């Protein structure tokens, strides 16, 4: 009996058999766009009408229902994307901005009070922008260029005002910018200097006088104290510990407990705990503590012969 061969149509080609599938998966991965995926994902969450929004907000505020909070958040994700795109020129990775905006949205939902008569979207927009702005300022450079509220405001308004003046045919001098933005000229100069500087890598190779190639980090002074400073600090610490023990030996009763169990203890007791032990008020123990600190200051100033900085808080 002759065995029949398998029909040609049943023979799988290498690609059909899965030999080339890993390459196909790789191509699929390369073409994946996280922004498109996120936008497609949020389309499944419907917008809420005012009555639904108010009902869910009141439910979350009174009972802390996480389901209500999740619905409020997901129904406003489109708002986050819209606001994030306003700052895409300040920071290239739009997904990072959306992520920070989402955090701001969740914070807004947590703080939202429907009784104030304001829509959640109007209230949340403020928090979303705040979180995105903070993120942009913190990550625009490796080193922050704006730490105060005034600096953050100047950072975002400086280029905008410069472009506006140029469009009007006005030269954006430092004096004109300072006047229009209501800041001092030195603040304009300082911000322009910060924005113009590039980040420098500590691993960048630079040459020294010996011709040996070293990195920028190697040329920085060593962190921490010198051996002489460490020795001096250790001697001062030992001397201070000796005089603290000497002072503590002169105390008795409530003063001794306050000193040993509160002022120099690694796990200090509270004023209330000590007051309960001696059946006195918390205020009375605070007065005793204040007197002990004053006596300790005088003692250390005298005993340590000028090596003690008289800066203890009474």
Residue range 119-134, pLDDT digits in tens: 898 899 989 988 887 7
- Round the CA-based radius of gyration of the chain to a whole number and report it: 34
Residue 295: other Cβ atoms inside 10 A: 15
**Cα distance between residue 260 and residue 67, in whole Å:** 51
Residue 70 lies in a domain: yes
Question: Do 169 and 133 share a structural domain?
Answer: no
Question: Do 189 and 134 share a structural domain?
Answer: no
Nearest to 99 by CA among 38, 149, 43: 38
Domain count, the chain: 3
Question: Do 136 and 38 share a structural domain?
Answer: yes
Nearest to 258 by CA among 295, 297, 286, 299: 286
Question: Do 184 and 251 share a structural domain?
Answer: no
Q: DSSP code of 264?
A: S
**Which residues 6+ apart lie within 8 Å of 38 measured at CB?**
81, 95, 98
β partners of residue 207? 213
Q: Is the pLDDT of residue 18 over 90?
A: no
Mean pLDDT of the chain: 75
Query: Residue 74: what pLDDT?
Result: 93
pTM value surpassing 0.85 = no
Question: Do 171 and 111 share a structural domain?
Answer: no
Residue 7 lies in a domain: no
Query: Residue 242: what pLDDT?
Result: 82
β partners of residue 213? 207
- Domain termination site, one of 94, 111, 140: 140
Domain span at residue 178? Answer: 152-196
Question: Do 123 and 51 share a structural domain?
Answer: yes
CATH classification at residue 258: 1.10.10.10
Question: Do 247 and 165 share a structural domain?
Answer: no
The pLDDT tens digits for 238-267 are 777 888 888 888 999 999 999 988 888 888
């Amino acid at each position: 009996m002759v065995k029949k061969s398998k029909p040609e149509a049943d023979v799988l080609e290498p690609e059909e058999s899965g030999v080339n599938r890993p390459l196909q998966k790789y191509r699929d991965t390369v073409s994946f766009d996280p922004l498109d995926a996120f936008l497609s994902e949020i389309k499944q969450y419907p917008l809420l009408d005012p009555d639904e929004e108010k009902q869910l907000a009141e439910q979350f505020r009174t009972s802390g229902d996480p389901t209500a909070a999740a619905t409020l958040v997901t129904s406003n994700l489109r708002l986050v994307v819209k606001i994030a795109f306003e700052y895409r020129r300040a920071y290239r990775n739009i997904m990072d901005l959306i992520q920070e905006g989402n955090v701001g949205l969740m914070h807004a939902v947590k703080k939202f009070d429907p009784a104030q008569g304001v829509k959640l979207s109007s209230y949340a927009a403020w928090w979303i922008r705040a979180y995105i702005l903070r993120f942009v300022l913190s990550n625009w450079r490796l080193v922050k260029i704006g730490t105060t509220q005034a600096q953050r405001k100047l950072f975002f308004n400086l280029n905008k005002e410069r472009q506006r003046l140029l469009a009007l045919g006005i030269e954006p001098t430092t004096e004109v910018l300072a006047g229009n933005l209501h800041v001092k000229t030195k603040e304009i100069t300082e911000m322009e200097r910060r924005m113009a500087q590039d980040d420098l890598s500590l691993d960048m190779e630079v040459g020294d006088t010996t011709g040996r190639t070293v990195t920028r980090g190697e040329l920085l002074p060593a962190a921490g104290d010198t051996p002489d400073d460490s020795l001096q600090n250790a001697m001062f610490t030992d001397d201070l510990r000796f005089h603290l023990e000497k002072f503590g030996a002169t105390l008795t009763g409530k003063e001794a407990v306050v000193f040993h169990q509160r002022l120099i203890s690694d796990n200090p007791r509270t004023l209330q705990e000590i007051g309960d032990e001696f059946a006195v008020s918390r205020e009375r123990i605070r007065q005793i503590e204040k007197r002990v600190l004053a006596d300790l200051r005088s003692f250390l100033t005298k005993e340590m012969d000028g090596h003690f900085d008289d800066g203890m808080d009474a």
